[in-house]
Structure 1
Amino acid sequence: MRAIVTAILAIVATVMFAMPAYAGDVAAGKQVFTKNCAICHVGGSNAVSSSQTLKQEALEDYLFNYGSEHNVDAIIYQVANGRGAMPSFQGRISNKAIADVAAYVKSQSEKGWPE
Protein backbone atom coordinates (compact mmCIF):
# COMPACT_ATOMS: atom_id res chain seq x y z
CA MET A 1 0.00 0.00 0.00
CA ARG A 2 2.79 2.41 0.93
CA ALA A 3 4.49 1.76 -2.42
CA ILE A 4 1.29 2.61 -4.29
CA VAL A 5 0.83 5.87 -2.38
CA THR A 6 4.48 6.77 -2.96
CA ALA A 7 4.16 6.07 -6.68
CA ILE A 8 0.99 8.15 -6.93
CA LEU A 9 2.60 11.06 -5.08
CA ALA A 10 5.64 10.86 -7.35
CA ILE A 11 3.42 11.00 -10.44
CA VAL A 12 1.41 13.93 -9.06
CA ALA A 13 4.59 15.84 -8.17
CA THR A 14 6.03 15.20 -11.61
CA VAL A 15 2.91 16.49 -13.32
CA MET A 16 2.56 19.51 -11.03
CA PHE A 17 6.16 20.62 -11.30
CA ALA A 18 6.87 19.55 -14.86
CA MET A 19 8.20 22.23 -17.14
CA PRO A 20 8.10 22.07 -20.91
CA ALA A 21 11.23 20.38 -22.21
CA TYR A 22 13.77 22.73 -23.75
CA ALA A 23 17.20 21.81 -24.96
CA GLY A 24 19.34 24.24 -23.02
CA ASP A 25 21.65 26.65 -24.84
CA VAL A 26 24.95 26.88 -22.97
CA ALA A 27 25.92 30.30 -24.39
CA ALA A 28 22.53 31.79 -23.51
CA GLY A 29 22.75 30.08 -20.12
CA LYS A 30 26.03 31.85 -19.39
CA GLN A 31 24.28 35.19 -19.85
CA VAL A 32 21.39 34.13 -17.59
CA PHE A 33 23.87 32.87 -14.99
CA THR A 34 25.89 36.09 -15.06
CA LYS A 35 22.76 38.20 -14.60
CA ASN A 36 20.89 36.08 -12.04
CA CYS A 37 23.18 33.57 -10.35
CA ALA A 38 26.77 34.78 -10.27
CA ILE A 39 26.20 37.00 -7.24
CA CYS A 40 25.99 33.85 -5.12
CA HIS A 41 27.64 31.30 -7.40
CA VAL A 42 30.58 33.04 -9.09
CA GLY A 43 32.98 30.44 -10.45
CA GLY A 44 30.74 27.63 -9.26
CA SER A 45 31.14 28.56 -5.60
CA ASN A 46 28.37 29.30 -3.12
CA ALA A 47 28.54 32.53 -1.13
CA VAL A 48 25.73 31.46 1.22
CA SER A 49 26.54 27.80 1.91
CA SER A 50 30.15 27.01 1.08
CA SER A 51 29.59 23.25 1.01
CA GLN A 52 26.81 23.39 -1.59
CA THR A 53 28.77 24.58 -4.58
CA LEU A 54 28.09 23.98 -8.24
CA LYS A 55 31.17 21.79 -8.50
CA GLN A 56 30.58 18.32 -9.93
CA GLU A 57 31.19 16.38 -6.72
CA ALA A 58 28.94 18.64 -4.68
CA LEU A 59 26.09 18.41 -7.20
CA GLU A 60 26.39 14.63 -7.16
CA ASP A 61 26.23 14.65 -3.34
CA TYR A 62 23.39 17.02 -2.57
CA LEU A 63 21.30 17.65 -5.69
CA PHE A 64 18.36 15.26 -5.74
CA ASN A 65 18.28 13.01 -8.82
CA TYR A 66 21.51 14.42 -10.33
CA GLY A 67 23.67 11.41 -9.62
CA SER A 68 26.61 10.16 -11.62
CA GLU A 69 24.51 10.49 -14.80
CA HIS A 70 24.55 14.30 -14.35
CA ASN A 71 20.83 14.67 -14.98
CA VAL A 72 20.25 18.23 -16.19
CA ASP A 73 16.58 17.96 -15.16
CA ALA A 74 17.76 17.93 -11.54
CA ILE A 75 19.41 21.32 -12.08
CA ILE A 76 16.32 22.63 -13.87
CA TYR A 77 14.18 21.55 -10.92
CA GLN A 78 16.53 23.23 -8.42
CA VAL A 79 16.62 26.52 -10.35
CA ALA A 80 12.86 26.53 -10.92
CA ASN A 81 11.86 25.61 -7.37
CA GLY A 82 14.76 26.71 -5.19
CA ARG A 83 15.56 25.15 -1.84
CA GLY A 84 16.89 26.46 1.44
CA ALA A 85 18.48 29.86 0.88
CA MET A 86 18.19 29.55 -2.90
CA PRO A 87 15.10 31.30 -4.25
CA SER A 88 12.77 29.89 -6.87
CA PHE A 89 13.30 31.36 -10.31
CA GLN A 90 10.12 29.97 -11.83
CA GLY A 91 8.01 32.97 -12.78
CA ARG A 92 11.03 35.29 -12.45
CA ILE A 93 12.74 34.10 -15.62
CA SER A 94 11.36 32.10 -18.54
CA ASN A 95 11.35 28.30 -18.64
CA LYS A 96 13.77 28.53 -21.55
CA ALA A 97 16.14 30.69 -19.48
CA ILE A 98 15.96 28.12 -16.68
CA ALA A 99 16.83 25.32 -19.13
CA ASP A 100 19.65 27.44 -20.57
CA VAL A 101 21.21 28.20 -17.20
CA ALA A 102 20.91 24.53 -16.22
CA ALA A 103 22.76 23.54 -19.39
CA TYR A 104 25.46 26.09 -18.57
CA VAL A 105 25.82 24.89 -14.96
CA LYS A 106 26.04 21.27 -16.09
CA SER A 107 28.63 22.14 -18.73
CA GLN A 108 30.76 24.19 -16.35
CA SER A 109 30.56 21.67 -13.53
CA GLU A 110 31.72 18.91 -15.87
CA LYS A 111 34.64 21.13 -16.96
CA GLY A 112 35.55 22.06 -13.37
CA TRP A 113 34.35 25.68 -13.68
CA PRO A 114 37.33 26.97 -15.66
CA GLU A 115 35.80 30.40 -16.27
Structure 2
Amino acid sequence: MTQNATPVDETMDFDREIAELEQAIATLKQRQAEIELAEREQVVLERQRNELKHKGSKHPDVKQELAQIQSRLEQLDLILESRLLNLWEPFWQAVRFGGLGIAIGWFISTWGK
Protein backbone atom coordinates (compact mmCIF):
# COMPACT_ATOMS: atom_id res chain seq x y z
CA MET A 1 0.00 0.00 0.00
CA THR A 2 1.08 3.58 -0.53
CA GLN A 3 1.75 5.98 2.28
CA ASN A 4 -1.18 8.16 1.21
CA ALA A 5 -3.74 5.35 1.42
CA THR A 6 -6.53 5.90 3.89
CA PRO A 7 -7.88 3.19 6.16
CA VAL A 8 -11.06 3.15 4.05
CA ASP A 9 -9.04 2.48 0.88
CA GLU A 10 -7.12 -0.30 2.63
CA THR A 11 -10.36 -1.85 3.86
CA MET A 12 -11.87 -1.71 0.37
CA ASP A 13 -8.74 -3.30 -1.12
CA PHE A 14 -8.78 -5.99 1.55
CA ASP A 15 -12.48 -6.69 0.94
CA ARG A 16 -11.87 -6.87 -2.81
CA GLU A 17 -8.97 -9.28 -2.34
CA ILE A 18 -11.09 -11.47 -0.06
CA ALA A 19 -13.88 -11.51 -2.66
CA GLU A 20 -11.40 -12.50 -5.38
CA LEU A 21 -10.01 -15.25 -3.16
CA GLU A 22 -13.51 -16.55 -2.42
CA GLN A 23 -14.27 -16.59 -6.15
CA ALA A 24 -11.06 -18.51 -6.85
CA ILE A 25 -11.94 -21.05 -4.16
CA ALA A 26 -15.46 -21.46 -5.57
CA THR A 27 -14.03 -21.99 -9.06
CA LEU A 28 -11.58 -24.57 -7.73
CA LYS A 29 -14.37 -26.41 -5.91
CA GLN A 30 -16.45 -26.43 -9.09
CA ARG A 31 -13.53 -27.85 -11.09
CA GLN A 32 -12.98 -30.52 -8.46
CA ALA A 33 -16.67 -31.51 -8.59
CA GLU A 34 -16.56 -31.68 -12.41
CA ILE A 35 -13.47 -33.87 -12.31
CA GLU A 36 -14.99 -36.21 -9.73
CA LEU A 37 -18.19 -36.50 -11.78
CA ALA A 38 -16.23 -37.19 -14.98
CA GLU A 39 -14.12 -39.83 -13.23
CA ARG A 40 -17.23 -41.61 -11.88
CA GLU A 41 -18.87 -41.50 -15.30
CA GLN A 42 -15.69 -42.84 -16.88
CA VAL A 43 -15.64 -45.84 -14.52
CA VAL A 44 -19.31 -46.63 -15.25
CA LEU A 45 -18.83 -46.35 -19.01
CA GLU A 46 -15.73 -48.53 -18.98
CA ARG A 47 -17.65 -51.17 -17.03
CA GLN A 48 -20.51 -51.01 -19.54
CA ARG A 49 -18.08 -51.24 -22.45
CA ASN A 50 -16.43 -54.34 -20.97
CA GLU A 51 -19.82 -55.98 -20.37
CA LEU A 52 -20.89 -55.30 -23.96
CA LYS A 53 -17.62 -56.68 -25.32
CA HIS A 54 -18.17 -59.91 -23.41
CA LYS A 55 -21.73 -60.21 -24.75
CA GLY A 56 -20.42 -60.22 -28.25
CA SER A 57 -20.10 -57.51 -30.83
CA LYS A 58 -21.96 -59.28 -33.65
CA HIS A 59 -25.22 -57.38 -33.16
CA PRO A 60 -25.52 -53.93 -34.77
CA ASP A 61 -27.12 -52.51 -31.61
CA VAL A 62 -24.16 -53.61 -29.52
CA LYS A 63 -21.69 -52.15 -32.02
CA GLN A 64 -23.55 -48.85 -32.04
CA GLU A 65 -23.69 -48.70 -28.25
CA LEU A 66 -19.98 -49.54 -28.02
CA ALA A 67 -19.21 -46.72 -30.45
CA GLN A 68 -21.26 -44.27 -28.38
CA ILE A 69 -19.55 -45.36 -25.17
CA GLN A 70 -16.12 -45.03 -26.78
CA SER A 71 -16.98 -41.55 -28.05
CA ARG A 72 -18.11 -40.42 -24.60
CA LEU A 73 -15.00 -41.92 -22.99
CA GLU A 74 -12.85 -39.88 -25.37
CA GLN A 75 -14.76 -36.73 -24.43
CA LEU A 76 -14.24 -37.49 -20.74
CA ASP A 77 -10.52 -38.01 -21.32
CA LEU A 78 -10.31 -34.55 -22.87
CA ILE A 79 -12.24 -33.02 -19.97
CA LEU A 80 -9.98 -34.66 -17.42
CA GLU A 81 -6.80 -33.69 -19.27
CA SER A 82 -7.85 -30.06 -19.63
CA ARG A 83 -8.78 -29.86 -15.96
CA LEU A 84 -5.43 -31.29 -14.99
CA LEU A 85 -3.66 -28.67 -17.08
CA ASN A 86 -5.74 -25.91 -15.48
CA LEU A 87 -4.83 -27.11 -12.01
CA TRP A 88 -1.10 -26.96 -12.85
CA GLU A 89 -1.30 -23.52 -14.44
CA PRO A 90 -0.53 -21.54 -11.23
CA PHE A 91 2.50 -23.76 -10.62
CA TRP A 92 3.90 -23.15 -14.09
CA GLN A 93 3.24 -19.42 -13.81
CA ALA A 94 5.24 -19.36 -10.58
CA VAL A 95 8.07 -21.32 -12.19
CA ARG A 96 8.08 -19.06 -15.23
CA PHE A 97 8.05 -15.75 -13.40
CA GLY A 98 10.23 -16.99 -10.55
CA GLY A 99 12.82 -18.15 -13.07
CA LEU A 100 12.57 -14.85 -14.90
CA GLY A 101 13.10 -13.00 -11.62
CA ILE A 102 16.16 -15.08 -10.81
CA ALA A 103 17.60 -14.46 -14.28
CA ILE A 104 17.01 -10.71 -14.02
CA GLY A 105 18.49 -10.63 -10.52
CA TRP A 106 21.56 -12.55 -11.65
CA PHE A 107 21.99 -10.20 -14.63
CA ILE A 108 21.68 -7.09 -12.45
CA SER A 109 24.11 -8.41 -9.84
CA THR A 110 26.62 -9.36 -12.56
CA TRP A 111 26.22 -6.09 -14.44
CA GLY A 112 26.52 -4.01 -11.26
CA LYS A 113 29.95 -5.36 -10.34
Indicate the TM-score class for this superposition, using the shorter chain for normalisation: under 0.3
Higher helix share: 2
Q: Which has the larger radius of gyration?
A: 2
TM-score when normalising by structure 1? 0.25
Structure with the larger RCO, 1 or 2 (CA within 8 Å, 6+ apart) = 1
TM-score when normalising by structure 2? 0.25
